[in-house]
Amino acid sequence: MTIRVLAAGDHFVQNRLLIDALRREVPGEVDVRELTLPWPVEPFGRVGEVDEASDVEDALIEALSGVEVCVTQMAPLTRRVLDASPDLRLFCVSRGGPVNANLEAAARAGVAVTYAPGRNAVATAEHTLAMLLAATRRIPQTHADLAGGVWRGDYYTYDSVGPELEGGTAGLIGYGAIGSRVARMLAGFGAQVLVHDPYVDVPGKVKLPELLERSRFVSLHARATPETTGMIGAAEIAAMPRGSVLVNCARGALLDYDALCDALESGHLFGAAMDVFPEEPIPPGSRLLTAPNLVMTPHLAGASKETAMKAASIVAADVARYVRGEPLAHLATLRATP
C-alpha cells in the first residue's frame, strides 16, 4: 500500500533530510510531495490557536489535499487546517514537543500527532556548557574589545576574573535528556553537581532553595509549565551566592528577566548567558540589550546538523510504524492506523 506524505520542511529540517529518512525507513511505500516553509529566515509565531509555527495555513491546506501523513517541524496544525484536510491521519512534528499542533482538535478529527523527543539533547547540552564558559570567562566581551583594537589589561584584575568550574558547585534545574548530559559534562570538569527535579531520583538531588544557596553556577533545563513559569525571580536570584553565573538555554518563561537585569547591573551576578527570551526577537529598547556581562544567542542552542538529521529520522521511523500498523513510539494524541 502506498502512503501519500507531505514533507513540509524548512531551512533547518530540510525536505531532503525528511525525504531521505522516509526512503530509508519506508522504501517504496511513500508518495512524497514537498512544501518548504520559511523558518528560520522568517521567525515563527502564533498562528490561529497554536504557538511557534510558520504562518502558512493557506499553503499547507492546499498541499495537504489528498495527503494522509505530514512530516514537518513548523507547519501549523490548527482547527482550520484540520477541517480542510479530511484525508490527514498522521501529523509528525520533528521537534521536542508538538507546540505547533492543536492536540485536542487533532484527537477529535482522528489525526494522530507524534513528536521527536531528544532530537536536540546533545546540541543543547553542548551549547549550555559553551554559554557557561563564555559567561564565566567573559569570552564575548574580551573578543569584542580585541576586534575593536583595544587591549584591556584590567580584565586580569582579581575582581574582574571569573571562577573555575573545577571544585565549584553547579546546580541544574531539570534533569531530563539535556540536564543529565550537562551534568556528565560538568562532572568531567570536576564540578560538584546538584539537581532539582521533582520527577527524578538521582545523587545530588536537593530542594530548590538549597540548590540556589549552594551553587556558584545555575543552569535551567525545566520545561515551561504553569508550575515552572516564573520559577526563578528576584528572590531566587538573590539567594544565589554573590558572583554567581546563571544560564538559561531552556525556555524564557522560566525566568524573570527584569530581575536578571537588576542582578547583573548591581553586580550580584558575575555573569549570565541566555539563549531564550520572554519575547523573540528581543524588542528594541529591551534592558537585555544593555545589561552588563550578559552573553546572548538567538534561540539556537539546539541547532546542529545532527539535530536536523535526528529529527528527520525520528519522525520517519514513526511513519514506518504507522505503515506497518504498529504502535507509534512518540505519540502525543490518539493512535492512528492506515
Distance of alpha carbon 186 from the chain centroid: 20
**Contact between residue 191 and residue 169 where contact means Cβ atoms under 8 Å apart:** yes
Q: Is 306 a catalytic residue?
A: no
Which residues are CB-neighbours of 48 under 8 A, at least 6 positions away? 57, 76, 78, 79, 80, 102
* d(C-alpha 21, C-alpha 9), whole Å: 12
* d(C-alpha 72, C-alpha 124), whole Å: 21
Q: Which of 280, 287, 324, 335 is catalytic?
A: 280
Q: Which of 127, 138, 221, 299 is catalytic?
A: 299
* d(C-alpha 97, C-alpha 71), whole Å: 14
**Contact between residue 46 and residue 64 where contact means Cβ atoms under 8 Å apart:** no
Q: Is 280 a catalytic residue?
A: yes
Which residues are CB-neighbours of 227 under 8 A, at least 6 positions away? none
Q: Which of 119, 251, 321, 330 is catalytic?
A: 251
* d(C-alpha 309, C-alpha 336), whole Å: 25
Q: Which of 241, 123, 92, 121 is nearest to 131 (CA)?
A: 123
DSSP state of 27: T
* d(C-alpha 311, C-alpha 306), whole Å: 8
Q: Is 216 a catalytic residue?
A: no
Active site residues: 251, 280, 299
